[in-house]
Amino acid sequence: MAAALQPEDLPEPEESDTSDLRSVLVTSVLNLEPLDKDLFRGSHHWVPVTQRLFGGQIVGQALVAASRSVKEDENVHSLHCYFVRAGDPKIPVLYQVERTRDGRSFSTRSVKAIQHGVPILTCQVSFQLPQESPLKHQFPMPTVPPPEELLTREELIQKYLKDPSLVEKHRTGLNKILAQEVPILIKPINPPDMFHRLPQEPRQMFWVRAKGLIGPGDMRLHCCVAAYISDYSFLGTAILPHLLRPLQFMASLDHSMWFHAPFRADEWMLYECESQWAGNCRGLVHGRLWRKDGVLAVSCAQEGVFRVRADKPKSKL
């Protein structure tokens, strides 16, 4: 395992037009209210079209809660979560932390995210003190265009909206997407055809970063933001070969992350996603978050459940 993450090891910040703006992910979305020892309350700000709580926010807030129960020099190296119920966007979420173990090198925490008196997510988090090791290796980063040469998802949508031949139903759908105040920026490597949902390989890559400034500060905060980011458009990778099928329902079952190297979640990172398998109403997706300098910062895995609408029987008339 690589050395534990340290704030002073973070890559130098890039030039940014948001240098004077504190990220809403820090000021609001991941800012928990302490209620008692190891008990916190979190609110929510962005709700997907599913009208359920965004899973990345629940994972990120659970990691914030766990991080507040360990020493300052301990950094998260892995987390494993299960989504057990859909989150209700109408009420806050309570986070209850159990201090499972404090060892000499590693500490373990268990977190329950609770609504209506029952868990909606359970999470195991492991933290590690800094440790140097001569054993290091990683896969090479994919070769892709840099983010400076690509358009954000919002810029792509604005480009589509300028097309006078755009049919009204597509125009309405694109405007709904623009109206969502998502606190992250995305630049697709190969933007999908938003009007002809043709099957494609279960792989996608995009540059991603938090909107606004987080600052070098606490490395654990960047990990919490990365947990939020990692769930966005992740599970959808598994349905790319099946876009012609009428999808009725999709939801995450579990989510795991491994943190390898220091990074800044407010700087561009390449998110490489691929789905090696789908079947039995489930799909598995793996992801890798790369720093711009080619360092593998985070690995992710998620499994989800899929339901396809049954075709209506044809009339015999």
Q: What is the pLDDT of residue 195?
A: 61
pLDDT in tens, 84-108: 999 999 999 999 999 999 999 999 9
For the chain, give every domain's residue range: 18-132+151-307
CATH 2.40.160.210 for the 18-132+151-307 domain, yes or no: yes
Q: Which residue has the higher pLDDT, 300 or 4?
A: 300
Catalytic residues: 231, 252, 302
Instruction: pLDDT band for 17, please (50, 70, 90 cuts).
Output: very low
Q: State yes or no: pLDDT of 267 exceeds 60.
A: yes
Mean pLDDT of all residues in 176-199: 80
Range with the poorest average pLDDT among 46-60, 211-225, 249-263 = 46-60
pLDDT in tens, 274-290: 999 999 999 999 999 99
Range with the poorest average pLDDT among 2-16, 65-79, 136-150, 235-249 = 2-16
Mean pLDDT of all residues in 205-228: 92
Structure tokens at 249: 């329902």
Q: What is the pLDDT of residue 193?
A: 67
Range with the poorest average pLDDT among 19-23, 49-53, 80-84, 266-270 = 19-23
Q: How far is CA 140 from the centre of its chain?
A: 22
Mean pLDDT of all residues in 222-226: 96
**Burial, 165: exposed, middle or buried (Cβ in 10 Å; 0-12, 13-18, 19+)?**
exposed
Structure tokens at 253: 């079952």
Q: What is the pLDDT of residue 91?
A: 94
Q: State yes or no: pLDDT of 42 exceeds 90.
A: yes
Mean pLDDT of all residues in 188-204: 82
